[in-house]
Structure 1
Amino acid sequence: MTDAPPPPSGTSGDGAGGPRRAAVLGSPVAHSLSPAMHRAAYAAMALDGWTYDARDVTETELPAVLAACGPEWAGLSLTMPLKRAVLPLLGELDEVARATGVVNTVTWRGEGAAREALGANTDVEGIAGALSPLLAAAPEHGVVLGGGATGVSAVAALASLGCRRVVALVRSPERAAALREVGARSGVAVALEPFAEAAARTAAADVVVSTAPAGAADALAAEVAAASGGGHRGVLLDVVYDPWPTALAAAWRGPVVDGFEMLVRQAVGQVRLMTGAAPSPDLLREAGRAERRRRAAATPAR
């Protein structure tokens, strides 16, 4: 999946386009580490005057916010609940966004009346990139916990890693048709099962991606640990990174990677789309860690 929109006009790794603006939008969004990582990339690329902020924006507010983004805007990162709400507001989607119906990055192309907003999905890149170093071979059987936008991206990511069978554990199967749809487009057979089946299904999986919000999978942790016997053969990616470890990650008896690594990897793709140059994952990883240390130091001890 490489048919991505080109970088926004007037951008380059040497800052030739002049100062530009970017931001992460969502609600809530104050916790986001994206500003620290994107700003570190701008500094390393000598993009003087570029700014990146966090803005709390709801689905209702999104159309007006997007319409107000003038030519000084290089891009937007989108988090929940905006990854699907933005679709009707865009002129074109990249291949991954079309396949998933999920957008986490907006850039623009053209000028004046011909200027249009472009949607891309770098979450798939982020999930696959976080998992790849821990996989000795292409996984055959995957499990996804959760049926939301990130769950859909997880199915597409598992397909890109070679997975051909996925069990999606969801609370409302009737509302998770998008998981089957992206599976069909990606050549993956997706079976929908109740969330309560997680313990049995994860024990036999080659790779598990939990997209459940913080705390949502805690009640399953003890069952998942008990069902593993001597240990889990598969790799677990839990997209939550704060607090860490989650109860599920702590109970997992096998390789584990947290959502922070996914965040780093998807941010590499976002910076590439917004500036035309890809930063080192190590640079963004260290910037994110430094911001986490800063926040921890600023939090009063209880």
Structure 2
Amino acid sequence: MPARATDARRAAVLGSPIGHSLSPVLHRAAYGELGLTGWSYDRFEVDEAGLPAFFEGLGPEWAGLSLTMPLKRAVIPLLDEISETAASVEAVNTVVFTEDGRRVGDNTDIPGMVAALRERGIEQVDSAAILGAGATASSALAALARVCTGEVTAYVRSAARAAEMRQWGERLDVGVRTADWADAAEALRAPLVVATTPAGTTDALAPAVPERPAVLFDVLYEPWPTALAARWSLAGGAVISGLDLLVHQAVLQVELMTGRSPVPPDALRAAGEKALSER
């Protein structure tokens, strides 16, 4: 049932560390656009050990939760149901509390990434490259399963990571080839490059950006732009940022938690950009 504007409902983002999270800024902006004056959205520092007790302390006023690291897998045993999307990568970033008291987990990172690509007119590519092999890389693979018709090459630092990415590819029905990180400059020639690594990791690749780059999806949003994104943009390539991903996954979270749609992504993006500029 869609939320009434005056309903006193709560939502929040959980994780550790959580102080940097932009989710409160984005969700509150969405509530403002939707006229949900009775809704609040906060952040809580919660680690894996503290998650069960946090859940047990929630009352009927709670509509949903956003989850970041390290809780996306730890939460699964606490839920009554998870979506096929969340199950495909064994990661839940959204929990919705239903009217009958059930806890339902979902993953909006994957469709959020697809939505961010489509916002830039990218509906389909014939191949892609992923830089990195962590948890975000598996979500990127799941998103690429929806837009990439050919092979995905993952550039990784170890044989163990390479094996993991190939396993994810088999599970997600994506053709995955792995390559050594030492050859990561080759990735930059792909029609779509998804950088999933921590801040600073791809800086050394910036000088290798080709004369006519295609599309870079860099999941970072702070600090921004990354050295790679700045050089990419300077060369005339299309750049999609981590803020774009954060906005689109938040749009989907708000719709799931409130039952209201559509949620305007531009309003959330403007709020996020303002908050980042003030840090």
TM norm. shorter chain > 0.5: yes
Whether 2:257 is the aligned partner of 1:274: answer: yes
Identity %: 49
Deviation at 1:277, TM superposition (A): 1.3
CA contact (8 A) 2:123 2:147 kept: no
Residue 245 of structure 1 is matched in structure 2 by 225
CA contact (8 A) 1:135 1:235 kept: no
What is the RMSD computed on CA atoms of the aligned residues? Answer: 2.0
Deviation at 1:76, TM superposition (A): 0.8
Whether 2:274 is the aligned partner of 1:290: answer: yes
Query: Residues of 1 paired with 2:93 and 2:159: CA distance?
Result: 24
User: What is the CA deviation profile of residues 78-102 of structure 1, one whole-angstrom value per residue up to 9, with x for unaligned ones?
Assistant: 1122222222222211121011111
Deviation at 1:137, TM superposition (A): 5.6
User: What is the CA deviation profile of residues 140-198 of structure 1, one whole-angstrom value per residue up to 9, with x for unaligned ones?
Assistant: 11111122221111111111113331112223342465543443343311123222221
Query: Residues of 2 paired with 1:118 and 1:137: CA distance?
Result: 29
Match of 1:128 among 106, 114, 118: 114
Residue 207 of structure 1 is matched in structure 2 by 192
Unaligned runs of at least 5 residues, structure 2: none
Opposite residue 36 of structure 2, the aligned amino acid is L
User: What is the CA deviation profile of residues 16-61 of structure 1, one whole-angstrom value per residue up to 9, with x for unaligned ones?
Assistant: 7x21111111122212111111112112222222110111222222
Query: Residues of 1 paired with 2:198 and 2:151: CA distance?
Result: 24
Whether 2:260 is the aligned partner of 1:260: answer: no
Unaligned runs of at least 5 residues, structure 1: 1-10, 297-302
Counting only pairs closer than 5 Å after superposition, residues 69-108 of structure 1 correspond to structure 2 as 69-108=58-97
Give TM-score, length-normalised by structure 1: 0.84
Residue 8 of structure 1 is matched in structure 2 by none
Query: Residues of 2 paired with 1:24 and 1:59: CA distance?
Result: 14
Counting only pairs closer than 5 Å after superposition, residues 62-211 of structure 1 correspond to structure 2 as 62-111=51-100, 115-135=101-121, 138-175=124-161, 179-203=165-189, 205-211=190-196
Query: Residues of 2 paired with 1:41 and 1:231: CA distance?
Result: 37
- Size of the aligned set, in residue pairs, is 275
Residue 12 of structure 1 is matched in structure 2 by 2
Opposite residue 144 of structure 2, the aligned amino acid is L
Query: Residues of 2 paired with 1:99 and 1:107: CA distance?
Result: 18
Structure 1 residues 60-69 or 132-141, which shifts more?
132-141
